Amino acid sequence: MKHPTDMKRGPNDPGLENPGRRTMLLGSAGAMAAVSLLGFTPLARGEEPKTLPDYVAWKERNALILHSANTMETQRGAIGQGVITSSDRLFVRNNLPAPSEEIVADRDGWEVNIEGVKNPRALTIGELKTMGVTTVASVLQCSGNGRAFFPHGASGTQWSVGAAGCVMWTGVPLKTVVEALGGPVDGMKYITSTGGESLPDGIDPKTIMVERSVPLHALDTAMLAWEMNDEPLPLTHGGPLRMVVPGFYGVNNVKYVKNVAFTETQTDAKIQASGYRIRDVGKKGAPDQPSMWEMNVKSWVTAPLETARAGRNMIYGVAFGGTKSLDKVEVSTDGGQSWKQAQFLGPALGPYAWRPFVLAADLPAGEHRIVSKATDMVGNSQPEGRTENERGYGHNGWKDHGVTITVS
Amino acid sequence: MKHPTDMKRGPNDPGLENPGRRTMLLGSAGAMAAVSLLGFTPLARGEEPKTLPDYVAWKERNALILHSANTMETQRGAIGQGVITSSDRLFVRNNLPAPSEEIVADRDGWEVNIEGVKNPRALTIGELKTMGVTTVASVLQCSGNGRAFFPHGASGTQWSVGAAGCVMWTGVPLKTVVEALGGPVDGMKYITSTGGESLPDGIDPKTIMVERSVPLHALDTAMLAWEMNDEPLPLTHGGPLRMVVPGFYGVNNVKYVKNVAFTETQTDAKIQASGYRIRDVGKKGAPDQPSMWEMNVKSWVTAPLETARAGRNMIYGVAFGGTKSLDKVEVSTDGGQSWKQAQFLGPALGPYAWRPFVLAADLPAGEHRIVSKATDMVGNSQPEGRTENERGYGHNGWKDHGVTITVS
C-alpha cells in the first residue's frame, strides 16, 4: 500500500507547483556566498539525480525527494503508518555538509566537553555509556516543514510534510551527566550545544557554525544520543553523538555534538541570534523574536493521496503534540466543513512521539479535500490557517496540509 | 556496541558445543523422507554458507546464524536493545519451504476463505483492508527457542535465544471480519488456520501441512496481518497475509494463510495432533498433551556477552510476559545468588511486546555468570531450571539462559 518503491511524487506536493522558488539556506548576501563556497547547490525541478550523495547512499532513494545534497524530504506516500519511521526513509537536513566518515570510525572515543558545570570536563562516549541510558521516541521535524505552503515564497528548502519522522533515540540523560559533574553553575539559563562540523576558512565562524541554545528546563528531558532506531547513530543523522531535545524542532538537536555548555545567555551564533526566529514577512531576524524551540501540535494525511475507489476507504495520517500527548485527531473529507474523530493506530510511545491515525470513510465519486486536525491533552488544536512569517517556520495550519483526491 | 557487523558467534552459544545434534524437522521415518524430499538439509558446524538463500537474501547476514535453508536464528549479540526488532535481523523458521515470490506479486488479490461462520466466504486482502485495521506489537518466538540447552539432545533446530523478536503487526482484527460474516457458528471451539504452502506429491498432506488450531478465546486478539514493521509483510515472514495470534508461539501464526475455519475440534494435521506438544522425554506426541499456545514469561541477557572491562558496566537484555505485561526483571551477576532489579528501557508497547532492560553493575576482574529473571503482572516468574520435554519446547528457565563473561 505504501511501499516506497510504489511511491512517486504526487500533485499534492506543493514543491511541484513552485519549482522556481528560492531554496537558499540563508538570506543574506554573505551567507549566500558561504552557501556557494560550501557546495550547497539547490536543485531545480527535473534536476534530481537518480542516486543519493555518498553519505546518504544507504537510504531508500524512492522514499525521498532530493532537494539538495544536504536536504532530503520523505515522500508523503512513504511516511507510512508506523509508530516509528524507518531510518532509511527519514528526512535529512544538514545546515553544513556532513563531516567525514572518519568521525564514526572510533565511536566510543568521541569526546564531548561539558562546560558551565561545577566540575567541567571532557567525556568520551565510552564513558557516557557507563553513566546511564534511556530510550525515548521523539518526532524529529525541521522548523521549516510546511514552508512550501507559504504563498510569499519563504526562502529555504521547500519542504512539504516530509521533513519529519518519529524515531527512537538511545543515549544518556543529560541530567545524569550534569549531576555527576556537580550540576550547572548557579545562574545559568540555557543549554548551548555546538556541532562538530569543520568550518571553512575565510568566513566568520559565527555566521555559519551550528550552535544552539535551549532553555534550561530542557535539562529534564535532553539526552546525548548514540543510537537511533536500535542502531549506532548514522553520521547522516549526527553520529557518533547528538544532542536530542525531545519535542524541540530539529535544529536544536545538534549533530556530532562536541560541546555542551550551560550559559547565562543564548549563543550569539547567527543560527541562534537571528536564524530560526518567527518574524513578520520582510523583517530581519533578531534575538527578541520567538526562537524555534518547542514544536506545536500538528497532523497530516498520508493516504490516500491522489485517487481512490468509490466506497469505503481507510484514511491514514500521523499526528503529534510536540511536547504534549495527543487527545484526539479529527478528519474531514469535505475540506473542513464536517469532522469525524479518527482512531489512533498502534501503541502510544510517549508525549514526544507521533501517533498514526486512521478513519474509515465512505467516499462517493468525485473530488474530495481531506484534512486532519489534532488536539493535544491541554486543548491546543491546529489552527485552520498559517501564521505568516518570513522564513515559513512552524506551520501547523490544517487547511494547507490536506490533500485533494479523485474518487472514481 | 551491538551492530550486527561487529557480531560473531560467541562461547555462550550452546549450538557451538553440540554440532552433531540432530536437526531434523520431524521425528518419524516418514517425515524424515519428507524432509529429504523437501530439501531440508540441516547444516553442520562449519558448513554455514556466506550468503543467505534467495528468499531471505534481503536479511543482514552477519546478524544471523544459518541453521538450515529454512531456519535462521538472530545472533544473541545482534538482538539489540530496541523495543522493536528490525526485520532484517529477525529470525526465520519455516516448517515448509517458502512459496514462490509470485504470491506477493498481487498482494491485494490474495484470497482467504473464512469458514465455520454464519456467512462463509472468501475475502481478498483488498477487501480486508477496508474492513478495519489495528497495529499490535508482539513477540514472535519459535516454540523451540532455547532447545539447544536441553541435555537430552532434543531433535529439531538447535536454537539458543535468537528464535525470537518483537515486531509490529498491522492488519484487520479477525473479530471484525468474523462479525461482518455473522459470527462463528454456534458450538465452535477453535480457530483453525491453514497455510498456503505447496505440498509435494506422494506424501499424505496431513503429515506435512501447516494447519494449526488455537482456542476460540484467541478471537479477542487474533488478526490477519498484511504488514510487519510498517512494510508490506515479506514473503519470508508469511506475506502477503499471516494469521497473527499475539502472545502465542510462532507456529500458531500461520503464514500465507489461505483458510481460517471456526471448528468444533482441533485439526488432525500432524503439526497439531502430535506436533508441538509438551511430552516427557522419549514419549510420542498425542492430542491430549499440552499444545504450544500461549508463551510463558522469559528473559535473557544480550550484552555483555564474552568480555568486559573491570568497573561499571551496563547489562542489557530483553524480557516478555507472553500474554501478560511485565512487572519486573531482576539481574544477577553471581549466577543467581543475589539479584538486583533492572530498569526497563524505552516505552512499553503493550502486553505482547518485549521490554528491553538494563542494569548498571560494578564488575571486578574475573569470571561472572550473568542471569536474568522476569516476573509478569500476575506474579509468574521464570523458574531456575528446565521443564524437561522430548522436543525441547517452552524453555524459560533462567539458569540456562545466562552468559558467562570474563572481566579484566
B105 touches chain A (CB under 8 A): no
The whole-angstrom separation of Cα B273 and Cα B260 is: 18
ipTM of the complex, rounded to two decimals: 0.89
The reply to whether residue A349 touches residue B349, judged by beta carbons under 8 angstroms, is yes
Q: For A242-268, how does the pLDDT look when each residue is reduced to its tens digit (9 = 90+)?
A: 999 999 999 999 999 999 999 999 999
Q: What is the mean pLDDT of chain B?
A: 91
Nearest chain B alpha carbon to A362? B130
**Shortest alpha-carbon distance between residue A132 and chain B (Å):** 8
Kindly tell me if the per-residue pLDDT of A35 is higher than 90: no
What lies within 8 Å, CB to CB, of A280 at 6+ separation is A388, A389, A390
Predicted model pTM: 0.91
Q: For A112-162, how does the pLDDT look when each residue is reduced to its tens digit (9 = 90+)?
A: 999 999 999 999 999 999 999 999 999 999 999 999 999 999 999 999 999
User: Among B3, B81, B84, whose Cβ lies nearest the Cβ of A84?
Assistant: B84
The whole-angstrom separation of Cα A187 and Cα A117 is: 11
At residue B51, the pLDDT reads 85
Mean pLDDT score, B207-233: 98
At residue A43, the pLDDT reads 62
Kindly tell me if the per-residue pLDDT of A24 is higher than 60: no
Pick from A380, A365, A222: nearest CA to A298? A380
DSSP B63-91: GEEEEETTEEEE-GGGS-S-SS--GGG--
Contacts of A168 in chain B (CB under 8 A): 82-84, 346
Q: For B323-354, how does the pLDDT look when each residue is reduced to its tens digit (9 = 90+)?
A: 999 999 999 999 999 999 999 999 999 999 99
The reply to whether residue B3 touches residue A232, judged by beta carbons under 8 angstroms, is yes
Q: What is the pLDDT confidence band of residue A42, given thresholds at 50, 70 and 90? A: low
Q: For B95-128, how does the pLDDT look when each residue is reduced to its tens digit (9 = 90+)?
A: 999 999 999 999 999 999 999 999 999 999 999 9
User: Among B168, B232, B345, whose Cβ lies nearest the Cβ of A83?
Assistant: B168
Kindly tell me if the per-residue pLDDT of A278 is higher than 80: yes
Kindly tell me if the per-residue pLDDT of A191 is higher than 70: yes
Mutate to test the interface with A, among B6, B90, B133 (most CBs of A within 10 A): B133
What one-letter code names the amino acid at B118? K
Q: DSSP character for B56?
A: G
Q: For B33-44, how does the pLDDT look when each residue is reduced to its tens digit (9 = 90+)?
A: 444 444 445 565
The whole-angstrom separation of Cα A352 and Cα A220 is: 13
A104 touches chain B (CB under 8 A): no
Contacts of A350 in chain B (CB under 8 A): 347
Mean pLDDT score, B373-378: 98
Q: For A108-124, how does the pLDDT look when each residue is reduced to its tens digit (9 = 90+)?
A: 999 999 999 999 999 99
At residue A154, the pLDDT reads 96
What lies within 8 Å, CB to CB, of A62 at 6+ separation is A4, A5, A7, A75, A78
What lies within 8 Å, CB to CB, of B70 at 6+ separation is B40, B92, B93, B94, B95, B96, B97, B98
A134 touches chain B (CB under 8 A): yes
Q: What is the pLDDT confidence band of residue A12, given thresholds at 50, 70 and 90? A: low
Q: What is the pLDDT confidence band of residue A7, given thresholds at 50, 70 and 90? A: very low
At residue A302, the pLDDT reads 98
Kindly tell me if the per-residue pLDDT of B201 is higher than 60: yes
Mean pLDDT score, A194-217: 96
Kindly tell me if the per-residue pLDDT of B31 is higher than 80: no
- Find out whether the peptide bond into A304 is cis, omega within 30 degrees of 0: yes
Mutate to test the interface with A, among B90, B125, B129, B135 (most CBs of A within 10 A): B135
Q: Alpha helices of A151-246 — where are they, by DSSP H? A: 174-180, 205-208
B346 touches chain A (CB under 8 A): yes
Kindly tell me if the per-residue pLDDT of A81 is higher than 70: yes
H or E element: which one contains A37?
A: helix A29-37
Say which range, A5-19, A250-264, A290-304, B243-257, has the weakest mean pLDDT: A5-19
Kindly tell me if the per-residue pLDDT of A30 is higher than 80: no
The reply to whether residue B130 touches residue A312, judged by beta carbons under 8 angstroms, is yes
Q: Which residue has the higher pLDDT, B64 or A11?
A: B64
The reply to whether residue B135 touches residue A346, judged by beta carbons under 8 angstroms, is yes
At residue A214, the pLDDT reads 98
Q: For B129-160, how does the pLDDT look when each residue is reduced to its tens digit (9 = 90+)?
A: 999 999 999 999 999 999 999 999 999 999 99
Kindly tell me if the per-residue pLDDT of A37 is higher than 70: no
The whole-angstrom separation of Cα A23 and Cα A72 is: 12
Do B140 and B385 meet the contact criterion of CB atoms below 8 Å apart?
no
Mean pLDDT score, B44-48: 63
Q: Which residue has the higher pLDDT, A353 or B1?
A: A353
Q: Which residue has the higher pLDDT, B10 or B386?
A: B386
The whole-angstrom separation of Cα A217 and Cα A224 is: 16
B1 touches chain A (CB under 8 A): yes
Q: What is the mean pLDDT of chain A?
A: 91
At residue B50, the pLDDT reads 77
Kindly tell me if the per-residue pLDDT of B11 is higher than 70: no
**Percent with pLDDT over 90 in chain A:** 87
Q: What is the pLDDT confidence band of residue A32, given thresholds at 50, 70 and 90? A: very low
Kindly tell me if the per-residue pLDDT of B15 is higher than 50: no
Say which range, A99-108, A126-135, B13-22, has the weakest mean pLDDT: B13-22
Q: What is the pLDDT confidence band of residue A21, given thresholds at 50, 70 and 90? A: very low
Mean pLDDT score, B166-194: 98
Q: What is the pLDDT confidence band of residue B218, given thresholds at 50, 70 and 90? A: very high
Q: For B254-292, how does the pLDDT look when each residue is reduced to its tens digit (9 = 90+)?
A: 999 999 999 999 999 999 999 999 999 999 999 999 999
Kindly tell me if the per-residue pLDDT of A309 is higher than 50: yes
Mean pLDDT score, A2-8: 40
The whole-angstrom separation of Cα A1 and Cα A313 is: 13
At residue A14, the pLDDT reads 53
At residue B298, the pLDDT reads 98
Please report where in the chains the cell 524529529 appears, as a residue: A140
Kindly tell me if the per-residue pLDDT of A39 is higher than 90: no
**Percent with pLDDT over 90 in chain B:** 87
- The phi and psi torsions of B352 (rounded to 5 degrees) equal -95, -5
